[in-house]
Structure 1
Amino acid sequence: MNLFLDFVASPYFNKNQRLLDFAHYLSSFHPLFPEESLALASIPSNILPPDKRNKKELSYLKSHLNKLLKTFIGQLHYQDSTNIQELDVIQGLMKMGSDDYVPMLKAFKTKLDQINKPGNDELWMQYTTSNILRGQLSGKPADVEVILQESINRLDEYYLINKLSYGIEIQNRQQVIQFAPSFQNDLMDQIEKHLSEKEEMGPRLSLYYQLYLCFKYPDEEKHFYKLVRLLPEHQLKIERTECRGIYLATINICLRKMRIDYNTYATICLGLYEEGIRTKILFERGLLTEWTYRNAVKIGLRLERYKWTTDFIHTYNPFLAVASQKNALYSNLAEVAFSQKEFDQTFEHLHKIKINHFRYHLSTKILLIKTFYETENIDSCLSALGAFTVYLSRLKGVSLAVKKNCQHFCQLLHQILMQSSDKKREKTKLKIQQQTPLAEREWLLDVFSREHPRF
């Protein structure tokens, strides 16, 4: 807030004193900013004098200050991008005709060449720098040729990685949505052929190419296994945020393959989670998210690796945000207890969870309903099922898929427990097998087989 006030006070960006006074007035309400702070009667007369105290004038003030805020956010981002600033200074000096830019350009190029894990931004700056330098060198032909080759190599790598990245996204969307007739990514066949004949590739290009092959040829297992082999080989050579995206894409491929051969691909998937979390590649802003944590736990339980899962829960709980640690600990321990049929412990852990996010409400209620059923407390099970159904019908601000996932669970469990005719039971079994999305499909099938063993 103080930085923003300094920004608004700068005459380079703002010469309107009323806007500065308005910003100072609003800052006094930081961080809550109640609605009444913008009531016309509350705003001081030096900001809105009597002859201008109307909604239109207030709207102008808000609009202009909002524009300044956006410019301020852009400036903050620019200040963090020191390499971009340096390149802009060099290009500015070059356009002004100053010779000072040449030694600066050479020093900047040396600095860029020393970056261990260049991403897209660094690649583009390396290309831009080499390209500018190429046009300015008047030395030996051999030196010019070296720079020329560098420019070509940097441009090729930048182009190929981005083309592959778009290709991966298109293939992914076609598989998930199964509707993408308007997408065009020309030259991909030629790029694929070119890369297939390449003897050596850098870490980023190698991983993006392998990911692309996995998405384009999902039934060819060799591409996936090569990707899984390349990841640990190259993961430390790539900037962590980008590597996290590649890990998550690989995990998503694994999740799809788990539908065909669960044990094989669940084991690989758990290995990816384990390595990604151990190296902190799957961390966000230095922390493990509670949902990545939970996903690893779920797979561990499905593989019946109970000791590993319990140890994992306790080992990595301190790496979660402090506010999330307690709920994540008890909700996941409740899942372990339920999987081992220790239902008293399940109830005990569930009782310690404080609902602070709708996802916890959903997962906790489903586990509670399942535990009531497993302990043969059918009345409590039906009562909790009814209350959960009402809660879901009133739930706002969540995706339809998340909501339907739970609603279908409630509907089908109720049908399993309450339907009496054989014809309806047959329909229910078919729905459990085919309904999408559906939470706890395997458990519902198990309950159905116990309730109606003849089917």
Structure 2
Amino acid sequence: MKNKVSFLLTYFDVYELNKLRKFIQSPYFNSNEILVQLFDILRKELEKDKRKELPKESIWKLLYKNKPYDDVRYRKLNSELLKLTEEFLAQEEYNNNPMRQSNYLMDSIGKKKITSLYSSTIKNARNISTKIEKIEPSHYFYLYEMEQNFFELEDYETNRSEKANLEVILNNLDNFYFSEKLKWYCTILPRLLNTSNIYDLKFINEILEYINSNKIENDFINIYNLIVKLYKFPYEKSNFNELLKTIEINSSKFTQNEQFRMFNHLLNFCVSHVNKGDLEYHEHYIDINENLISNGLIFTDGYLSPWRFKNIVQIALRINKFEWTENFIEKYKKNLHPDFRENAVTFNLALLYFYQRSYDKVIYQLQNVEYEDDAYNLSSKSMLLAVYYEMDYIEPLYSLFDSFRAYLNRNKTLSDTRKLSYVNLIKFTKQLSRIIDGDFKSIEKLKSEILQEKNIASDKWLMEKIKEKENSK
């Protein structure tokens, strides 16, 4: 198992490692040359193989050729290097936030009473604030701090006859507080609607009443207020349409994280309606995801999640967008991580062929693939089970019953609830396969059992097969 600092370094690219070395070399941050040497050793080993690490005794020998190994000293060196690496990460965040820097500078020169710098520092801070192109709610907090520092530097507390910037200070504080309060309330709302969790939310009703009773000129507040309405009144389609339009018009003003957060509320809302069979929201889900992909808002470390890729394909296929799905897979497969790409493409093509009822192609795609991810594995086995049933391949079907059940039994990561849903799928499909056409009594009995059991994977497919049996002569 890697020590903490070696593990942390695996998250750095070459450019960041070079910057980190300069940071560790800086006498302002570090006066121990041995730590630079330790970093170089760890980096060299990292470049050879990220998964392996030199034994600590070997690293010690490279640092201190003739000294006997001292575990306490070695641990202390690693701890100091870890602390420096963490300081570097914090420093990088600070360097990437010019407004925070200017606020710290104003605070510092104010404490030291360097009056000759007041005017230029205030001017520079205001210039920086106007050049921020992409904002998030914290932007208003930095504006609040800036105006507060400006108030103190101008000594408005003494000159009380001046109007000062008190109104601006409070407006920025309100914008920050309202935006953040609503943002987190929108995170809580789905939990309130879908679980029995209880949250003590102070002032939220008063804030909402104020916002809805006054003209608010803050885009964050208005958008999150619309998201609140979306969750509270889910069947009023005008809320969805207004929110979608408002986000699309204003999204270019916001950071990528904020844009994704807003669009993700729309996606979650779409999924809730998709699960109820609302066809209109299938289209919305697809369109929003395509927008997020094309604008690079949906990627993690530069890649599209294979699970989101699968969800998009699955929802498109539910409304028979076969050609669109094939084009989507081909167009965006390059955006999948190389470690997942081949299996994800294989599975999603199989899914396309399944909806097209090209069952031979499904078998060809899936029969020799074993996925590391549980979700893909379960979906793959469920699809094969359905295909063998559809094609009346009894021997492979019964063999899959056994291997699927064995997989569920040995899997230690799946919850009992999730396991049971697939155990029920196996059980009911097996019963279904034994019912001969025309045995309506057995069909009704099985249908009743399925309807009573709330936890079944692929329950819609099972009910479709029951209906086919009911209509058989």
TM-score, normalization by structure 2: 0.81
CA 1:366/1:5 → structure 2, altered by over 3 Å: closer, same or farther? same
Q: Give matches, 1:111-122, under 5 Å.
A: 111-122=128-139
Task: State yes or no: 1:443 paired with 2:466.
Answer: no
Q: CA deviation at 1:131?
A: 2.4
Please give the per-residue CA displacement for 1:40-96, whole angstroms capped at 9, x wherever unaligned: 476318559766x45444444443433333223323333333432333233222222
In structure 2, the residue matched to 1:125 is: 142
Give the partner amino acid of 1:373: Y
Distance of aligned partners of 1:175 and 1:94 in 2 relative to their CA distance in 1, 3 Å threshold? same
Pick aligned residue for 2:311 from 286, 290, 295 = 295
Asked whether 1:165 is paired with 2:183, we answer yes
The aligned runs of 1:204-243 (5 Å cut-off) are 204-243=220-259
Deviation of 1:244 after TM superposition, in Å, equals: 1.0
Q: 1:76 aligns with which of 76, 92, 113?
A: 92
Greater shift in the superposed pair: 328-337 or 71-80: 71-80
Distance 1:329 1:145, change over 3 A: farther
For residues 424 and 207 of structure 1, do their structure 2 counterparts lie closer, same or farther at Cα, with a shift above 3 Å needed?
farther
Is the CA contact (8 Å cut-off) linking 2:310 and 2:348 kept in structure 1?
yes
Partner of 2:351: 335
Find the aligned partners of 2:338 and 2:352 in 1 and give their Cα distance.
Answer: 22
The worse-fitting range, judged by mean Cα deviation, of 257-266 and 88-97 is: 257-266
Pairwise CA distance, 1:252: 1.0
Provide the rounded CA distance (Å) in 2 between the counterparts of 1:350 and 1:439: 19
Mapped pair 1:149 → 2:162: no
**Offset from partner CA, 1:246-281 (integer Å, 9 cap, x none):** 111111122223344522332333333343334443
Find the counterpart in structure 1 of residue 193 from structure 2. 175
Contact residue 168 and residue 211 of structure 1 kept, 8 A: yes
Deviation at 1:343, TM superposition (A): 1.4
Matched residues, percent identical? 22
Q: Which residue of 2 is the match for residue 253 of structure 1?
A: 269
TM-score (norm 1): 0.84
Instruction: Confirm or deny: 8 A CA contact 1:48 1:58 kept in the other structure.
Output: no
Give the counterpart letter for 2:218 in structure 1. Answer: G
1:433/1:441 contact within 8 Å kept: no
- 1:46-445 maps to which residues of 2 (within 5 A)? 47=64, 53=69, 55-99=71-115, 100-137=117-154, 147-176=165-194, 178-181=195-198, 183-350=199-366, 355=371, 357-397=373-413, 406-417=422-433, 429=447, 432-433=450-451, 438-445=456-463
**Matching residue's letter, 2:119:** V
Q: Residue deviations 1:148-182, cap 9 Å, x none?
A: 33323222211111111222122221223x2222x
Out of 276-285 and 415-424, give the one that drifted further: 415-424
Let me know the Cα RMSD of the aligned residues. 3.6
Write the deviation string for residues 221-261 of structure 1: whole angstroms up to 9, x where unpaired: 54334323323233333222211111111111222233445
Aligned counterparts of 1:398 and 1:5: Cα–Cα separation in 2 = 42
* Aligned CA distance change for structure 1 residues 424 and 393 (closer, same or farther; 3 Å): farther
Q: CA deviation at 1:425?
A: 7.1
Offset, 1:20: 4.5
Number of residue-to-residue matches in the alignment: 449
Task: Go from structure 1 to structure 2 and tell me whether the alpha carbon gap of 1:46 and 1:327 turns closer, same or farther (over 3 Å shift).
Answer: closer
Q: CA deviation at 1:336?
A: 1.3
User: Structure 2: which 5+ residue stretches go unaligned?
Assistant: 1-16
